[in-house]
Structure 1
Amino acid sequence: MIDPQEVALRVQQIRSEIARASSSPVAIIAVTKTFGHDAFRAAVIARCDAVGENYAQEVLAKVTEAPIDLPMHFIGAIQSNKVRQLAPYISLWQGVDRLSVISEIGKRAPGAEILLQVNTTNEDTKSGVAPAEVESLLAAGQDAGLVVRGLMTIGPTSGDIAEAEKAFLSLRSLADSLHLAECSMGMSD
């Protein structure tokens, strides 16, 4: 069982660290994959900004178990055939990296908000488009009537802080060059 007070304390510590590091707004997304509905309750108590899931079946199981009081982000690889089921529950689609997914989200959730996933580490195990392909994917998203809020990436699996910083700075620079305000940068562990 997850201790909501412990989660709230940790979120408060993270917010303090963020405030010391930067005055830019930062949203905390509680990624609840593989955890039960108690993780959602802990995220609400901790006043996280949203919850994130990366498996369609987990989203569907959790939203049918009890209402969710926070925006839901889908952060995993998106399968086109799951978009119809997920569309009513997702406030932000992170991880959009294919034209087929853009087309399906545009059809099932007109005006939906998305982040384009960029593979900033060139790791074969990571999803996302190459940085050189982002501009055409951005245009496709806009043409499909979607709101492209920004870009997202997953940091390197090596755990090397310098490599992670390089990947995240690369994403921020790319987003700035495309006049996209939002970046979602996380680690897989």
Structure 2
Amino acid sequence: MPIKENLLQIKSQLPNHVTLVAVSKTKPVEDLMEAYHAGQRIFGENKIQEMTEKWQQMPKDIEWHMIGHVQSNKVKYMVPYVKLIHGVDSLKLLKEINRQAVRWRKNVDCLLQIHIAEEETKFGLDENELEELLNSEEFKKMTNINVIGLMGMATFTDNQEQIKREFDYLKSLFNKYKSLKTDTSDSELAKQNCQLNTLSMGMSGDYQLAIDCGSTMVRIGSSIFGSR
């Protein structure tokens, strides 16, 4: 089935409050443009160099999301244009994003990645690390990043009960911390760099279950563009 039909079929299944990130990693610009002409404006990539090359070639009303693991020394290449960084899993990385954002005089939205899977290969913070980060003085002083939510990837398994448990756990953390707002200034116009309103979980194989568990953003690639 062509990309346009795949995309429109998936969009028809998504509630209005759920944002679709079309995961376009490894796919050629021609495929992305087919999705673009079908109305898709949010694309997710997992390699900064590839995302930058596509950004340079494609229309500038596209919202680029970095969905892969990020190395601190590569942050500077994407900060000028990236809209949302999904996989922020350390205070060190957050500091570098903020540093580059200050340099470019812009704000960058981020999601904190939580380790919910049983697989050790997955990255992410545990709950203690999440709480420590959000309550740290260093974080509270960051003026050019906005932590807008949490993300997580479930275990790669056919066990739906396990996946549901992992999604439910991430939703419980989201509910626990979403009332936390961090001021970065004492002025009347204090900017808040932590306002959790986005819960990113669910991919091609489990996005319907993720939505049932409270996801507000899904990352779908192969169901749109075909297998890699």
Go from structure 1 to structure 2 and tell me whether the alpha carbon gap of 1:42 and 1:168 turns closer, same or farther (over 3 Å shift). farther
Gaps of 5+ in 2: 179-195, 206-228
Q: Is the 8 A contact 2:3 2:31 kept in 1?
A: no
Go from structure 1 to structure 2 and tell me whether the alpha carbon gap of 1:144 and 1:18 turns closer, same or farther (over 3 Å shift). same
Residue in 2 that maps onto 1:50 = 42
Residue in 1 that maps onto 2:125 = 129
Match of 2:198 among 177, 182, 187: 182
2:100 partner amino acid: R
Residue in 2 that maps onto 1:157 = 156
RMSD (CA atoms): 2.1
Provide TM-score, normalisation by structure 2: 0.72
Counterpart mapping for 1:77-156 below 5 A: 77-110=69-102, 111-140=107-136, 141-145=139-143, 146-156=145-155
Cα displacement (A) at 1:49:
4.6
State the distance in 1 between where 2:172 and 2:9 align: 28
Provide TM-score, normalisation by structure 1: 0.86
Residue in 2 that maps onto 1:64 = 56
State the distance in 2 between where 1:98 and 1:172 align: 20
Q: Which segment is superposed worse, 135-144 or 34-43?
A: 135-144
Cα displacement (A) at 1:171:
1.1
Q: Is the 8 A contact 1:118 1:171 kept in 2?
A: yes
1:2-60 deviations in Å (ceiling 9; x for gaps): x8xx32322222233223xxxx6000000111111123212312323510001112112
Residue in 2 that maps onto 1:34 = 26
Identity rate, percent: 34
1:150 partner amino acid: G
Q: When the two structures are aligned, how many residues end up with a matched partner?
A: 181
Question: Larger relative CO (CA 8 A, sep 6+): 1 or 2?
Answer: 2
Gaps of 5+ in 1: none
Q: Which segment is superposed worse, 154-163 or 50-59?
A: 154-163
Q: Which has the larger radius of gyration?
A: 2
**Greater percentage in helix:** 1
